Structure 1
């Protein structure tokens, strides 16, 4: 089975709402047999995934092997699924999942895992930049705490 997912850029991603965003209409695609038509479920998800390098790192964090990567295309494989990511001119990623047991639920789980990993990667990049640039803005890192939910609280003091 296969599932296609449209990842629509948004300021705040709500991948947890995947099930509410499922398009109940299946899109038909022709298969290799002329008379046979396979129904491919479609899912649309708002996402924050814009940075290609962070996306590749997030895929690796989900135990995916990135088998091919270009500016607007990525191919990744997990033990039970494969995915082809294609980005259009507007920056919207379309992902086509395939694998024996890949259905809407499994595609949603994979997208959720990728989105979570991407969010962690973005957070790491922001925290790293804050640490690096604090002194140039006249700030000093007083404390940093990583919470149970992996959020980071940084207290910065103004240097005098």
Structure 2
């Protein structure tokens, strides 16, 4: 059974193509556009493996979607298994939209191309940001209507940015076009993905009398002759590595830290308020907001012009 190398799956989104869709990001990209907003998808060593039939089962169980969007990474680097997946999606009555950093004329025949209704091609060019059309990052990228499923009426959709803010302040982002603009244009909403809120570890380390620095992903504490790296995790801040004398059991127990739920919720609200303020300044409006089962908050922002 052929496995797909995937980076991320968002079950429902209105920011990655026409209508409500499931978005699937592949892991691995042979094109690697300068200025790419998702360079973490370039390597084939990251991500997770999933067979295309298992992915199909997951997609078909999602209620209310009209299709699937394939992004990357580079979907055509996995054209074989993705083609079989896309053909099965189409057979189930759903549409397929595929992004590629190649141009259509250079793509060899494949089942993935044959099973795509709407193709967006071309490399991302950071010096040519696109603001008038939805979903694309630069003006050179083209829409190809390969079936009669869609037409140019889809261009009336606004650009959207979807944010999911976890109780610990971590942010997940999708909505590629706006994210790409954020790199090239000042004043547009900018969000660093999978970024833990820096106030949390400082709060968690209160009382240790440690000198704390934070590089954005890891907290380093100088404590009793040691340099200790704290990583972020779902259960709070955990010891990752100790340079210096080893920890006794009693010392180690003092270094398993967490943040109380009330403070985490306070941070979450603060992050949300700041993002809404920045969105308003950038001419965007809150289109929808919901609290998820895991207590994360999902917000959809739409461009107002």
Look at both structures and tell me which one has the larger radius of gyration over its CA atoms: 2
Q: Which has the higher strand share?
A: 1
Q: Which has the higher helix share?
A: 1
> TM-score, normalising length from structure 2?
0.21
